[in-house]
Structure 1
């Protein structure tokens, strides 16, 4: 299991603590230090399902500066923006095999882990 983590984020810390309390020791990837490539983001999106926009943090300054609210942008354009500016990626994300979850709020992990 991989855990895409931002240690400065309280929700990310909370989700990691929840996993650890259940005896799960995921591989922690600080995605701001080790950003995901475009192909990795595309694979992550396939695991997550749903719209690419769900992967983006729309409250970030970068989101506004890059005009990412533009509905005409393609999924690839959105993922390229995340690859170039990883702080745009929603967090935390847990990856287990062929499935993934944006654990926001962390309580979503309860059902997902069953």
Structure 2
């Protein structure tokens, strides 16, 4: 079974998850979501695989969040549209394997997914 990592090469946590996939000798695909942004349907699929609400996938430390979204009450679709418009808002890394996904923080979550 092939794994997928939604990856930002500038992020150390994302690089650690990528290295773990390489160490496990798994067949995997790398999606650099800042270069190839996700559409709303792809984000919705990830949310289902993660088992979380859209707001839980938002990086609240990002300047974009603080400037445009902090303190606002958005519904599921509005949060998804915010991530489509601003991919930097998406938590990273996300690893998908066997139709389940985890946010790779801490790295142990990825190890449990791959076990």
TM-score, length-scaled by structure 1: 0.92
Unpaired segments ≥5 residues, structure 1: none
Q: Identify the residue that residue 75 of structure 1 maps to in structure 2.
A: 76
Unpaired segments ≥5 residues, structure 2: none
Matched, 1:109 2:110: yes
Instruction: Kindly state the Cα deviation for residue 68 of structure 1 after the two structures are TM-superposed.
Output: 4.0
Q: Identify the residue that residue 17 of structure 2 maps to in structure 1.
A: 15
Indicate if the aligned counterparts of 1:63 and 1:69 stay in contact, CA closer than 8 A.
Answer: no
Q: How many residues align?
A: 113
| Partners of 2:45 and 2:99 in 1: CA distance | 9
Q: Which moved more, 1:2-11 or 1:42-51?
A: 42-51
TM-score, length-scaled by structure 2: 0.91
Q: Identify the residue that residue 63 of structure 1 maps to in structure 2.
A: 65
Provide the aligned C-alpha RMSD in A.
1.2
Indicate if the aligned counterparts of 1:57 and 1:89 stay in contact, CA closer than 8 A.
Answer: yes
